[in-house]
Amino acid sequence: MSDKPSREELNALPVEAPDLEDETQHFYVCADCGQAVDMRRLGDVLHHEDPGHERLPEQ
């Protein structure tokens, strides 16, 4: 079965996130690759959960 949604599809999902004054508060730094991850982008978050993953291309 390969009906897993793609990272882009996951990123497009609406996420309940409070409007924070500081945009940087939506980000955390991945302990694995050191890249800043936007917690509102579910696909990116799941990507960075994957052991041995590559850094994502910058948007």
Distance of closest approach, residue 21 Cβ to Zn ion, in angstroms: 26
CA distance 17 to 35: 21
Least distance from C-beta 33 to Zn ion, angstroms? 3
C-alpha distances (whole Å) from 49 to each of 19, 21, 22, 57 are: 25, 27, 24, 16
Residues 1-59 within binding reach of Zn ion (CB under 5 A) = 30, 32-33, 48
Report the nearest approach of Zn ion to the CB of residue 37 (Å). Answer: 7
- The contact set with Zn ion (CB under 5 A) reads 30, 32-33, 48
